[in-house]
Structure 1
Amino acid sequence: MASGIFFALGAGLLWGLVFIGPLLLPDYPAALQSFGRYLAFGLIALPLAWMDRRTLAQFSRADWIEAAKLGLVGNILYYLFLASAIARAGGPLPTMIIGTLPVVIAISSNLRDARRDGQLPWLKLLPSLALIAAGIACVNQVELAHLRADPQADFGRYALGALLTVGAVACWTWYPLRNADWLRHHPDRNPRAWATAQGVATLPLALVGYLGFWAWTAVSGSSLPMPFGPRPAEFLGLMFAIGLLASWLGTLCWNEASQRLPTALVGQLIVFETLAALAYALLLRGTVPPLLTGMGVVLLVAGVVWALRVKPEPLAADAHPA
């Protein structure tokens, strides 16, 4: 339990870095950032795959297809939605909508995986979910007030950003559940090798996407300088940094946590990503968080701490999850 929580915390701190990419590169389209990040991730995975070649050779064709599906939905599509949302709504709102993932994943897993992991009793889980939801509501209230105070604010663009973030939530509700299924069905496999396999499987998808976007800019007459945009050094440096730290190392930490903790519980620990991303966004904004934001963070942490006290209960042989 302790090591699983530690790995989930590490994954959250690393994954929080992905929220600052669109803030540091506002002049780069979301598609270029998404394909660029995972192209970098795939290239980083190649030498790692060589080191794990004996383990990867044991993966079946079905395993590689599953790695490609996880890479497409949990990596490329997720970040495409998220980067598009941040470009339209800024950092904090998408961060806090993504913060609903602990609630969404916990409910989904409790409905789907109770027979495998044991069921987290709904009445005992409810206070944790309520605290997390209240924390998210507090921070969202601050961001809406911040938006109203801006005379140039575009509420339509802001709303579209929120909608795109919902797409990111859908992608990342599917990903950890599906990823946990594979890891639980293959307890003898190394989580590091599985993280590397996802990087390798994502590489051709990201390459096709990157080349396709390049071709689209040429056909449409876009003024964006390709292949690396107006600030090549910053773009490449950030993509490889996020590819290594967030995509590979973050996925490794998450895989380690997923093998040690029930899916419903590890899903709630994604709140660490929310807290890290919010902290990074506020640091970039250069502002001290308001009292209500601080209260929201305290509620989020309290919800996670409460969740850690809830233990799964095995279902009776003839019972069905509620």
Structure 2
Amino acid sequence: MAAGIGFALIAGMLWGLVFIAPLMLAEYPAMLLSAGRYLAFGLIALPLGWLDRHNLRRLSAADWREALKLALVGNLLYYLCLASAIQRAGGALPTMIIGTLPVVIAITANRRNVQRDGQLPWRLLAFPLVLILSGILLVNHAEMQGMQQTGEWSLQTYGSGVLLACLAVACWTWYPVRNADWLRNHPDRSPRSWATAQGLMTLPLSAILMAGIGLLPESGGVAFPFGPTPQKFILLMLAMGLLASWLGTLCWNEASQRLPTALAGQLIVFETLFALLYAFVLRGEFPPLQILAGIALLVSGVILAVRIRPVGAVESAH
């Protein structure tokens, strides 16, 4: 349990990096950011796949198809929606909407994985979930007030950002549940190999997307393929590909193989906390009291939730 929570913490720390890249590369279209990040992930996975070829040979055709689905929905589509949302509505709003993932995944997994994981009792889970959701809403309220005061808020931008962020939530509700299903059903398989397999499946998908961008008029408004600041773009894509995509996925797989899915889902809150931290560092600001209070609620909810132990399917039915 402790090792699983530690791996989830590291995954959140690494995944938080992907929230600031669209702000650092604001002039780049989200489609190019998504293609660039996962093209880098796929290229990094090639030598890793060669080194791990013995374990990868054990994967069946069905396993590779599952890795392809996870790569498409949990990688490319998710980050396309997230990067678009961040560029349309700023860093804070999408971060807070993505922050609802612990609640959404916990509810989803707690209804479908009783036989395998047992169930986190709803009467004990309710209060931590309320704390987590309250913290998310409090931080969101503070950020929205700030946007309105600076004149950055508009209904059109807000609406499109909310919609895209909600689509990202849908993608990443599906991804960890399906990913955990495979890992828990294959306890003899290496989480590292499964992360590499997803990277290998991401490579052709991202290459197709990158080629499609090159065929667009004006390549999405920037010089194709590396845009106006190529060195910065390449370094950020490589950093996200190695740290956030491969190493983050590896740490998350290690956590998913050790923890009940409903509990692991709540620990995605670490991603939200680190994304907020990085965003305020990028702004050069210290978080105001209202945001610190919201973060405290988030952390309190997670601490209470991780102390809850699942009960078996038979016991939870009474």
**Residue 307 of structure 1: aligned partner:** 305
**Residue 198 of structure 1: aligned partner:** 198
Shift of 1:155: 2.8
Describe the superposition over 1:70-110 as per-residue Cα deviations: whole angstroms up to 9, x where unpaired. Answer: 00000000000000000001101111110000000000000
Shift of 1:152: 4.6
Aligned length: 318
For structure 1, which runs of at least 5 residues remain unmatched after alignment? none
Say which of 257, 276, 279 aligns to 1:278.
276
**Residue 47 of structure 2: aligned partner:** 47
- 1 CA distance for matches of 2:172 and 2:111? 17
Matched residue type, 1:87: Q
TM-score of the pair, normalised by structure 1? 0.96
**Residue 86 of structure 2: aligned partner:** 86
- 2 CA distance for matches of 1:222 and 1:91? 21
Shift of 1:317: 8.3
Q: Secondary structure at the match of 2:62?
A: helix
Shift of 1:139: 0.2
Q: Secondary structure at the match of 2:313?
A: coil
1:112-191 matched pairs, under 5 angstroms: 112-191=112-191
For structure 2, which runs of at least 5 residues remain unmatched after alignment? none
Coordinate RMSD, CA, aligned: 1.3
8 Å Cα contact 2:110/2:120 also seen in 1? yes
Matched residue type, 1:312: P
8 Å Cα contact 1:40/1:243 also seen in 2? yes
**Residue 105 of structure 2: aligned partner:** 105
- 1 CA distance for matches of 2:37 and 2:220? 21
Matched residue type, 1:316: V
- 1 CA distance for matches of 2:297 and 2:49? 41
What is the identity percentage for the equivalent residue pairs of Structure 1 and Structure 2?
A: 62
TM-score of the pair, normalised by structure 2? 0.98
- 2 CA distance for matches of 1:160 and 1:109? 28
Q: Secondary structure at the match of 2:45?
A: helix
Matched residue type, 1:5: I
Shift of 1:316: 1.3
2:264 paired with 1:255: no
**Residue 288 of structure 2: aligned partner:** 290
Alpha-carbon distance change, 121 to 192 in structure 1, aligned in 2, over 3 angstroms? same
Describe the superposition over 1:195-234 as per-residue Cα deviations: whole angstroms up to 9, x where unpaired. Answer: 000000110000001101111135xx76521111111111
8 Å Cα contact 1:102/1:269 also seen in 2? yes
8 Å Cα contact 2:121/2:316 also seen in 1? no
Shift of 1:299: 0.3
Shift of 1:319: 4.4
Alpha-carbon distance change, 151 to 223 in structure 1, aligned in 2, over 3 angstroms? closer
- 2 CA distance for matches of 1:274 and 1:222? 29
1:202-221 matched pairs, under 5 angstroms: 202-218=202-218
8 Å Cα contact 2:119/2:316 also seen in 1? no
**151-160 or 100-109, which moves further after superposition?**
151-160
- 2 CA distance for matches of 1:21 and 1:235? 9
8 Å Cα contact 1:217/1:224 also seen in 2? no
- 2 CA distance for matches of 1:274 and 1:75? 17
- 2 CA distance for matches of 1:58 and 1:317? 37
Describe the superposition over 1:10-57 as per-residue Cα deviations: whole angstroms up to 9, x where unpaired. Answer: 000000000011010000000000011000000000000000001101
2:6 paired with 1:6: yes
Describe the superposition over 1:276-306 as per-residue Cα deviations: whole angstroms up to 9, x where unpaired. Answer: 0010011111111110100000000000000
Matched residue type, 2:179: N
Alpha-carbon distance change, 20 to 137 in structure 1, aligned in 2, over 3 angstroms? same
